[in-house]
Structure 1
């Protein structure tokens, strides 16, 4: 789950990469090309810790969400390339810990880490870990939910990257890595209903070298434990062990892919057979930058009954940047981004920074608008400690433009509201009300620069950025003519997350004031 930039020496390295961009992140095309082919990445956005299953003609994938709520995003596709957000599985993060609530905010970059999605006996199952609280599971009859309340499986800190399997005879097992103890990976017996694991049955099946990102699959009578490995001076790459019995012994071992550091180490994901009969690896790129850990789809070829990932050379795979669309039928889904707030419930692309204070926002007080009500942050004038910040993932594309229309007429003294880019650091353009005066301001890491006084009911905020991740903020008092600030903001990677864009609202003085947002348009 944790990945770091490393200098490469020692292992075989491959630079034969199809359609590789001259520099990481500077692609001009991506995803479905409209001619039966696709280009990686297929999702140039921070959908980290991906896992994937196929149920009939549909594909479902999950992505970790750390401290953001609701937790664990689930995606839906018909062809493994075009995806839409199906929903978010964990509605209440306080089922994990009160530290994930708006009044504590003590889990930045922690919270909901990698998980495994499975389909068994006509039911969807999610298993995931948090580094501080342990392992949890939930299930649902359909991917949109409702999902059951969380069931704790192992209440111990220091574990991550779990996976599960049910065999044909009804037996079940659970695999998890104790990263706090030299990355020792254990296999446990699990109850048939998936809600209990036998702690005393722990069987050591892997250890050392940062081994994690576990996924169990069964193909042609072999049980494969797919995982990633890291070695100092080498990088992170995909490995596998196999056995003829679900409970092992897992003695045979093989490296499936090279680190491909020039492609930011694609390494964690799900191996799946497509509707076309071919096999694929849906993976994130494990070394993050401002855009986070983005998603690619690599072919899988079977050699000597081992799944080799990407382009095979001498029995080991490397990054591939293009391929044939796995399926030409079905809907061409797109990740949702824009919102006009006409629904009475929040659309699925949105996530709060921590579990929100539910009475402090509304989609019904003023139909067609999102109302954000102001209250004190845990630390004065610190956006990262403000409880009413609504975010979504950014994309790494050539041209991005977000425009927000905001009614600021009901702001109160001491209130701040605006549009932000949000990670371990932040940049923002917004309004601060002091007495009866409204000030336009630019914020960067809690340093505030006043731009000018304004007198208006409505204000429009805009952010433009490209492949370099530099945001240029602007504002308008009429929705037509925009003034761009002199200062650009460089988005960053932090807390295992890429940059997010969001809307914030807080008041250092008192619990008073609100803003209404008419729309959030992401072009």
Structure 2
């Protein structure tokens, strides 16, 4: 069989809390999506080198003010966290907790690529769960430091009455800043294997991958450090994830690395076995490149350009909304060939703007560009292109109370509102907008531009020093937005989105 190369990171983009399974000759990966909707993306690969989005587990998780970004509420950094993906007897299962609802969710389907997931909700948080099917019984193993095990019903949709529900063990405390979390659970060749990350204060003082193993499910467990490496990047450990095998019997782990403003990026790590213990990497290091068997498949990008030329009001899978969208206030069919966004509730900044449509950014650098038509905007409306995180940057058009239009660049002023860095009077009916993102070697800067014709570009404002912050817990995205500051009903028409990596 011919081979292809895997380069690490596999995806230089925000795909955190990964969990991978193999089903036949295909691999599927789920990831955390928090406040982005639809949620829990399912990615597919046939060669481990190339991944594409094939479905989502849910269109929306809940229908309330927080999830809808209404009533002054939001779920930034909440929503779905650290999902576990498993296949068992022809069914696929995804489970996770949501910090804002304080509930545990289980979704199941017999077709992972068709998005027809059945939803079940269980009260209570089960932090960073690992789902385990074992001899006709089902367990979820979870926790931070104090690792617990709870038994579910055989169909994994509810708590098992009088089932196992206990503390499994306590992980190390001495010299540890963040105790073990991020469970991935397996039974392999008579051993139970539980994988976690922890973050010691001593030694290198970075996130590392831990393995606990036992002959009996309830223990006793012994443990080892199975990976402690940062790939030479600022002491940011490659850790948290699970293992899987190939049809040829080789083993791999998919883990992730904190990579500053671009987010948490997945890395593929070869795994071998020694005396019943998994050995991660090559001589304790994550290889930057290695060969895997080639299986031919069309390669589809993670982030795309879009002409918004759709026959029905349904977007490509690469797009996600910031929180639940308002379906009455967006369309790609009302004006064919355009994304139309309509303003609704008043907002102070893009952080409160409903129907902001986003995609990931990618390293080492990338550019997003759009054309905005202005005739439908009303006094007080603001529309344009955003570099989205809590420390956001926007470039777009603001309409004054007298109807005058200004192209402006703005940033978070510190309280969620927007400070205008620079504004310039603008008289045209269309405007081209561009953001260039640079993630090389922690430069982490975004630059903002506008043009009246798409040929001659003018920088505006100042470079945005991008920063990954835990109040959003997500890498920078680019997004198309509009919101009203005076009255609802304005219309922003986006002709296209052009995306490139550079």
Please give the TM-score of this superposition, normalised by the length of structure 1.
Answer: 0.86
The answer to whether the 8 Å contact 2:437/2:447 transfers is yes
1:326 positional shift:
4.1
The answer to whether the 8 Å contact 2:409/2:461 transfers is no
2:389 is equivalent to residue 423 of structure 1:
yes
Distance 1:239 1:223, change over 3 A: same
| Among 293, 309, 331, the residue aligned to 2:264 | 293
2:223 is equivalent to residue 256 of structure 1:
no
The size of the alignment, in residue pairs, is 473
2:288 is equivalent to residue 358 of structure 1:
no
Distance 1:52 1:229, change over 3 A: same
2:439 is equivalent to residue 476 of structure 1:
no
Give deviations 1:112-141, integer Å, cap 9, x for gaps.
Answer: 110111111212111011223131111122
- Map 1:62-461 to 2 at 5 A: 62-94=30-62, 98-104=65-71, 105-132=73-100, 133-153=102-122, 155-157=123-125, 159-167=126-134, 169-177=135-143, 179=144, 183-198=145-160, 201-208=164-171, 209=173, 210-233=179-202, 234-245=205-216, 247-260=217-230, 262-263=232-233, 264-285=236-257, 287-312=258-283, 317-343=284-310, 344=312, 345-377=314-346, 380-397=347-364, 399-434=365-400, 435-445=402-412, 446-461=418-433
The answer to whether the 8 Å contact 1:42/1:297 transfers is yes
- SS for the counterpart of 1:290 is helix
1:260 positional shift:
3.3
- SS for the counterpart of 1:211 is strand
Give deviations 1:398-438, integer Å, cap 9, x for gaps.
Answer: x4221111111111111000001011110010001123211
The answer to whether the 8 Å contact 2:195/2:241 transfers is no
- SS for the counterpart of 2:318 is coil
1:288 positional shift:
4.4
Give the equivalent residue in structure 1 for 2:499.
522
1:375 positional shift:
2.1
The answer to whether the 8 Å contact 1:224/1:241 transfers is yes
- SS for the counterpart of 1:355 is coil
1:320 positional shift:
2.2
Separation (CA, whole Å) in 2 of partners of 1:416 and 1:321: 44
Give the equivalent residue in structure 2 for 1:501.
478
Moved more, 327-336 or 188-197: 327-336
Separation (CA, whole Å) in 2 of partners of 1:521 and 1:191: 48
- SS for the counterpart of 1:367 is coil
1:365 positional shift:
0.7
Give deviations 1:470-505, integer Å, cap 9, x for gaps.
Answer: 122111112222222252112220222111111110
Separation (CA, whole Å) in 1 of partners of 2:186 and 2:455: 54
Give the equivalent residue in structure 2 for 1:9.
none
Separation (CA, whole Å) in 1 of partners of 2:212 and 2:422: 58
- The runs of 5 or more residues in structure 1 that have no matched partner are 1-33
- SS for the counterpart of 2:129 is strand
Please give the TM-score of this superposition, normalised by the length of structure 2.
Answer: 0.89
- SS for the counterpart of 1:36 is strand
1:450 positional shift:
4.4
Separation (CA, whole Å) in 2 of partners of 1:45 and 1:109: 17
Separation (CA, whole Å) in 1 of partners of 2:77 and 2:161: 27
Separation (CA, whole Å) in 1 of partners of 2:55 and 2:124: 28
The answer to whether the 8 Å contact 2:55/2:115 transfers is no
2:453 is equivalent to residue 491 of structure 1:
no
Separation (CA, whole Å) in 1 of partners of 2:243 and 2:294: 17
Separation (CA, whole Å) in 1 of partners of 2:248 and 2:456: 50
The answer to whether the 8 Å contact 2:56/2:115 transfers is no
Distance 1:333 1:207, change over 3 A: farther
Give the equivalent residue in structure 1 for 2:176.
none
The answer to whether the 8 Å contact 1:161/1:214 transfers is yes
- SS for the counterpart of 1:478 is coil
- The runs of 5 or more residues in structure 2 that have no matched partner are 174-178, 413-417
